[in-house]
Amino acid sequence: MMTDDQIREIYVKHRTIAVYGMSKDPEKPAHRVPVFLISKGYKIIPVNPTVDVILDRKCYPNLREVPDEIEIVDVFRSSDKALDVVKEAIARKKERGDISVLWLQLGIRNDEARRLAEAAGINFVQDRCMLREFKRLFQAQENGHSP
């Protein structure tokens, strides 16, 4: 289990987030959370094989196709599909060395994925919302400032 200080450090240290399962539907958390993170200065890279562009950003079908460096993979996939995403992230880290954090959104848990990620040297957060955690940990910066 990550401490508040460790989670706070993730937000401060890492600025590029691949959102796996990002949605173009403004009503869904998989759209609202990345919009919020963009408003806080984070670079968002959509990963969704069914969409070409989200929020004027090129959408990639998988992590392997993303040409930019990825620091965090924020996962909006069901718990049973999260393991495949984590395996894909581990393969990319071995190949490119760039993924430092895997974050499974609120309601998404997979302990096998956690074990594999941690064994590969990737920080792992599960069953937590990036928007809610940001607001909880950075209340003082809520008026438009980034951590």
Q: Which residues are 45's β-sheet partners?
A: 18
Alpha helices in the chain (DSSP H): 4-13, 29-39, 79-96, 111-119, 130-137
The pLDDT tens digits for 74-121 are 999 999 999 999 999 999 999 999 999 999 999 999 999 999 999 999
Q: Which residues are 104's β-sheet partners?
A: 75
pTM over cut 0.85: yes
Q: What is the pLDDT of residue 140?
A: 55
Mean pLDDT computed over every residue of the chain? 94
Q: What is the pLDDT of residue 105?
A: 97
C-beta of residue 60 within 8 angstroms of C-beta of residue 53: no
**Domains of the chain and any CATH numbers:** 4-137 (3.40.50.720)
Q: Is the pLDDT assigned to residue 33 strictly greater than 90?
A: yes
